[in-house]
Amino acid sequence: MPLKYGAHRIGKRTDPDMNRWRDYGLGEFIHFGLYSILGGDYNGMHYNGASEWIRSWNKLPHEVYDNLYKKFNPKDFDPEAWAKMAKQMGVKYVTITTKHHDGFCLWPSKFSDFNITKTPYKKDMIGPMVRAFDKAGIDVYLYFSVMDWHQKDWRYDLKTAADSVAFNRFKTFTKNQLTELLTLYPETKGLWFDGTWDTSWKKSGAFSDSLDQYLKKLHPGLIIGSRLRADDYGNRHFDANGHLMGDYEQGWERKIPKDYSATRGNDWDCVMTIPENGWGYAKTWMGHWKTPYELIEMLAKCVSLDGNFVINFGPKGDGTFRNKEIQTARQIGDWMQVNHEAIYGAGYAGWEKQDWGYYTKTERTQRSI
């Protein structure tokens, strides 16, 4: 089927930047923002959804949430300590929330007043994080929610001409913010898009395609997963011909392919929460906390199926990590120190999983077979 905005490449990217991505094995996700202050609680009540979605809770007035920036002061934020913890854990890449669905920007954006400079903390958080991780040898990816609850021009659907006019302004705003991020933080290796599931965006295949091409021209080598674009018919991830629209499949959120055929032979990564659901800090811990052992098994499974595994952390509003997350990171790091050879640069071995574990293959082990 002829498509104007379908996949422009069939099969995997083979350039050095993408080869480097493929070799990471283990990554870290960080969710940090205004929601970290509340930690899923408000007025003595507990929100049962994901804590970073608390603004959408009918018990919390929007104006309360939107004024949280006046209290945002992560005074103990220490980017070097964050990078050190990630390094010990053995992660090769980190994805940082620059702006979640609430629209709050952790960098001094010229295009939105709802940003870090208006808080008591005042200072940019993204730059120091990017530089600290980069210096530690950990590649940096920026999480960016397209959906933005703070922007008046955001639309869920485009039903009227006025909607389209507003949404066109929103597109320009989005492009400006992304240009700003890549210009301010040239160390960035890729962008992790989210909040792209609404009809308005699905109707914007032409724009998302041109945006993807523009960003890659601006920042050669940039890696963008399959969550940014939509094709001519509003298909996401895979176009109407079944081809992946992105450098890797970005649909594995809190789930892992059951076997190799489920990966369709594409590059992919799985992003995983330690609790059952919820990415931002949650004061009240609900449900099961994955043990380091469970997370390591997931990591081994992902690598054995040619994917990367990314574990999420939700630091507290003061900028420090909860002890349980620190311990989890440390225990995974201890395991990685002994077993990293089976993770870095490793992938699908073509052998069936056994009850005692998973096979992974590296170029070296491949040569010796």
Binding region for ligand H79 (CB under 6 A): 50, 52-53, 194, 197, 253, 271, 279
- Find the residue with minimal CB distance to ligand H79: 279
* Min dist. Cβ of residue 278 to ligand H79 (A): 8
Q: How many of the other CB atoms lie within 10 Å of CB of 162?
A: 10
Q: Which of 203, 253, 208 is nearest to 229 (CA)?
A: 208
Euclidean distance between CA atoms 119 and 141, whole angstroms? 24
Euclidean distance between CA atoms 155 and 170, whole angstroms? 9
Q: How many of the other CB atoms lie within 10 Å of CB of 106?
A: 25
* Min dist. Cβ of residue 105 to ligand H79 (A): 15
Q: Which is nearer to ligand H79, 48 or 366 (CB)?
A: 48
Q: Which is nearer to ligand H79, 66 or 253 (CB)?
A: 253
Q: Which is nearer to ligand H79, 134 or 194 (CB)?
A: 194
* Min dist. Cβ of residue 53 to ligand H79 (A): 6
Going 57 to 61 to 64 to 67, the CA torsion angle's sign is: positive
Name the 3-class secondary structure at 337.
Answer: helix
Going 200 to 203 to 205 to 206, the CA torsion angle's sign is: negative
Q: Which of 2, 3, 6, 1 is nearest to 237 (CA)?
A: 6
**For the chain, how many residues are written?**
369
Token look-up 């054995």 returns 304
* Min dist. Cβ of residue 91 to ligand H79 (A): 16
* Min dist. Cβ of residue 291 to ligand H79 (A): 22
Q: Which is nearer to ligand H79, 23 or 253 (CB)?
A: 253
Q: Which is nearer to ligand H79, 119 or 196 (CB)?
A: 196
Cα separations in angstroms, 61 against 35, 42, 64, 150, 155: 14, 10, 5, 14, 20
Q: Which is nearer to ligand H79, 16 or 287 (CB)?
A: 287
Cα separations in angstroms, 178 against 18, 107, 264: 21, 12, 30
Three-point CA angle 344, 30, 220, nearest 5°: 65
Euclidean distance between CA atoms 35 and 131, whole angstroms? 24
Q: Do the Cβ atoms of 269 and 307 come closer than 8 Å? A: yes
Euclidean distance between CA atoms 316 and 268, whole angstroms? 29
Q: Which is nearer to ligand H79, 21 or 29 (CB)?
A: 29
Residues 6+ apart with CB under 8 A from 288: 275, 276
* Min dist. Cβ of residue 51 to ligand H79 (A): 9
* Min dist. Cβ of residue 199 to ligand H79 (A): 11
Q: Which is nearer to ligand H79, 312 or 328 (CB)?
A: 312
Q: Which is nearer to ligand H79, 96 or 305 (CB)?
A: 96
* Min dist. Cβ of residue 47 to ligand H79 (A): 13
* Min dist. Cβ of residue 86 to ligand H79 (A): 18
